Structure 1
Amino acid sequence: MESSADNATVYQTIRVTAPESPVAALADVEAWKARKTHPSMLFAGGPVFGVARESPDGGWVLQPYFSGLAPQDARDGLGSYFRRVAMEAAEGGDPRRAAEYQAAGELLDWEALNDLTVCGCRYRVVRAERFIRMGPDGPEPPRITDPDPSEPGESHEGLDPAAGFVIDPYDPTGVSEGILKAELLAALRKHGTVPRDVRDDSGTAAATHPGGVLLPAAFMTAEREGGQWRPGSSGTAATPQSARDGLAMQLRVMVPWQRDLTTEQRCVYNDAADRLDAERCDELDVAGRHFRIVRVERLVRVGPDGPESPRPSDPDPVPPVMVQDRELREQGVLREEEDGAEEPDESTQKFLRLFDEERRRRESLRRH
């Protein structure tokens, strides 16, 4: 990473205070230790996107699951949220509120909007840059202070630790987090590592959104190959267990499907997934492959009007759902009525069998 020394503004003021609780104090100590064991900070792929709503008390409050890989992922989630609120309002006898939220959900089906006000509440699609710490032994694993409440296989039912988090650059922070925030706010992509428009947008954002807030950490899977580490997927998970559950699904379903494994070969991966569930480990060896659950830092830039929205250079390949539907019908890919659904090909059928097998395995565990 490179650094950019922009003119300081009020949004770049970082208030550092003593931790208010023993847990916060321990977290700050762990963060300081990580600076020594994993001293390098690297960009962790592209940005992620989520939704925040403006609070009348100041700041912006995060909605659950800040993990979209494209802005449209966050818009789709926001549209679903609007419909849910509309239904609740209708059931609660508030037809005006129900109609306004329903209309907002339908609007997002057609328009790629990043900022909406509904019933006096402002909502925004928000962008966060991702980073990982690297040390001599590779990327940083989860810390003992990272929330990890869910049981194996149950993380999809757990709460997102970042839900309800308030994006406010004026909130005080610990010493270690304050130093990290200052470092990441100055970070720019190195020349030649990204297209020019991506780097130019990064410089523009440093001027328009000079402040920043670190979100609660997210997690992902990385695999070591030939001495190098690469991400197991481009997405991030809300908790370490959610990342482990994703890796277990990969071992039980995706790898056997992608590599067309025999029953005997599948047993090796199934046994590794069982070990991952039983031990809740963050390192796993299987069939000559080495995986690690990795901790991911997320930084949201903040300017005079709040948190940063998607940048022009951020990939956003899929249009809103109704626009996509119209385009597919115009291309003849979709028709109003089909005489019958086509039989899935052999590869798809195999994937569905593996997925259904895993679903039934988990349901059996819940019953016992």
Structure 2
Amino acid sequence: MAELGDNVPAYRTIRVSEPDGPVAAVADVEAWQAREAYPDVLAAAGPVFGVVRERDAGGWEVVSSFTDLAPQDARDGMGAQFRMLAQERERAGDAAGVEECMRAAERMEWEAVDEMTVLGSRFRVARAECFVRSGPDGPEPPRPTDPDPTGPGDGHRAPDFTAGFVIDPAAATGMSAGILKMELLAMVPVAGTEPPGVREDALRAAHTHPGGVLLPATFMTAERGPRGRWRPESTCSSSTPQAARDGLAMQLRVMIPWQRRLDAAARAPLMAAADRLDAERCNELEFAGRLVRIVRVERLVRIGPDGPEGPRPCDPDPQPPVMVQHQQLREQGVITDDEDEDTPIELDEHTQRLAALYEEEEARRKTRRAEC
């Protein structure tokens, strides 16, 4: 039976309201303009995972940001949350609370658990899908109203705009965000374009979790390839455009020279491109015949009657829980009781070069901060 009027559950509604201030009003206008300049909405990279906690007041609070590329990474984060809760309970003198939190944390080290109730609150590993807008010119770059508070080399110091975010489908959004949410909720992979199981899981999720909430945007780098096709060059985990620029600069100054074993002369064009990226804080960089762009990423968490969607069966999840992995390595002889933990690890020449390049970059950034 169709659900009409007051019978429509909150998780299936999309509430639209007027912007609550001038910045929000400008952001809504920019979002509408992006629909014209970048009319296509495309899947970007794979899903990301985070940890959420159900709130007594309604909705789910993000307690571990959606930066993990596999469910087990987020499970490890949930176990870490329980250990931090144990420390809080210890400071409060709550021995029973400490025991409950540690019992939950230790279970997470052995079992692939996506939801647990600890201290009366439900915690869950939740899944978000990533999308980018694209147009004739390629994927959409950052918008002027996207927060970008830090300078070159300090992108990691910016606040995490997703931490503490409340996933509440009943919360009102702007007109453009509401329309985008409708578009994303309707998207499923075309038959034959994805590995077996992906389309089936997506169709199932459209029925089990028909609602959705948009998380704050994140950023990644993408490169234009042959015939004008763009491909992701990084994950969509940078919380600000500058954090994505810093990641690109690190690639140019450290990782590419190391991977390709470049000498000083061959490194020079890459170093010059990284310097230009820092000086101009640009969102597009051309170097050595390559064109790379900082790209804006939208993330959608699907919502059902019991809250945010968890991992799907088709989601890659290659690593077991940490203690299971440790046990497997012991059985394989990779880890033994005879190892001397005090014996320093000797790096080969290639790895020593990576360490040297990284230290050089850290020294450069430290000098830059001192000069600013």
TM-score by length of 1: 0.94
Indicate the residue corresponding to 1:346 in structure 2.
Answer: 349
User: Residue type matched to 2:194 in 1?
Assistant: V
The one of 347, 361, 364 equivalent to 1:361 is: 364
Indicate the residue corresponding to 1:91 in structure 2.
Answer: 91
1:79-228 pair list within 5 angstroms: 79-226=79-226, 227-228=228-229
Task: Report which stretch shifted further, 262-271 or 116-125.
Answer: 262-271
Q: CA RMSD in A?
A: 1.8
Contact 1:47 1:130 in 2 (8 A): yes
Task: Report which stretch shifted further, 71-80 or 332-341.
Answer: 332-341
Indicate the residue corresponding to 1:68 in structure 2.
Answer: 68
State how far apart, in whole Å, the 1-side matches of 2:291 and 2:63 are. 34
Contact 1:64 1:160 in 2 (8 A): no
Give CA deviations for 1:304-341 in whole Å, capped at 9, x if unaligned: 00000001111000111111110011011121232545
Task: Report which stretch shifted further, 176-185 or 232-241.
Answer: 232-241
Residue 317 of structure 2 corresponds to residue 293 of structure 1: no
State how far apart, in whole Å, the 2-side matches of 1:63 and 1:123 are. 9
Indicate the residue corresponding to 2:45 in structure 1.
Answer: 45
Q: CA deviation at 1:145?
A: 1.2
Q: CA deviation at 1:205?
A: 0.3
Compared CA separation, residues 354 and 7, structure 1 to 2 (3 A): farther
Residue 264 of structure 2 corresponds to residue 263 of structure 1: yes
Q: CA deviation at 1:215?
A: 0.8
Indicate the residue corresponding to 1:322 in structure 2.
Answer: 323
Q: CA deviation at 1:360?
A: 2.5
Where in structure 2 are there 5+ consecutive unaligned residues?
none
Compared CA separation, residues 228 and 96, structure 1 to 2 (3 A): same
Compared CA separation, residues 55 and 359, structure 1 to 2 (3 A): same
Contact 2:27 2:145 in 1 (8 A): yes
Give CA deviations for 1:202-237 in whole Å, capped at 9, x if unaligned: 000000001011111111000112222111123421
Contact 2:52 2:64 in 1 (8 A): no
Give CA deviations for 1:248-285 in whole Å, capped at 9, x if unaligned: 11111111111111111212212221221222111111
State how far apart, in whole Å, the 2-side matches of 1:326 and 1:364 are. 44
Contact 1:65 1:238 in 2 (8 A): no
Q: CA deviation at 1:88?
A: 3.3
Indicate the residue corresponding to 2:243 in structure 1.
Answer: 242
Q: CA deviation at 1:38?
A: 0.2
State how far apart, in whole Å, the 2-side matches of 1:262 and 1:121 are. 55
1:188 aligned counterpart, secondary structure: coil
User: Residue type matched to 2:365 in 1?
Assistant: R
State how far apart, in whole Å, the 2-side matches of 1:7 and 1:358 are. 58
Contact 1:218 1:236 in 2 (8 A): yes
1:146 aligned counterpart, secondary structure: coil
Q: CA deviation at 1:191?
A: 1.4
Where in structure 1 are there 5+ consecutive unaligned residues?
1-5
1:151 aligned counterpart, secondary structure: coil
State how far apart, in whole Å, the 1-side matches of 2:85 and 2:277 are. 38
State how far apart, in whole Å, the 2-side matches of 1:105 and 1:214 are. 29
Q: CA deviation at 1:13?
A: 1.7
State how far apart, in whole Å, the 1-side matches of 2:132 and 2:330 are. 42
2:126 aligned counterpart, secondary structure: strand
Q: CA deviation at 1:247?
A: 0.8
Contact 1:69 1:235 in 2 (8 A): no
Q: CA deviation at 1:7?
A: 8.2
Indicate the residue corresponding to 1:304 in structure 2.
Answer: 305
Contact 1:128 1:301 in 2 (8 A): yes
User: Residue type matched to 1:74 in 2?
Assistant: A
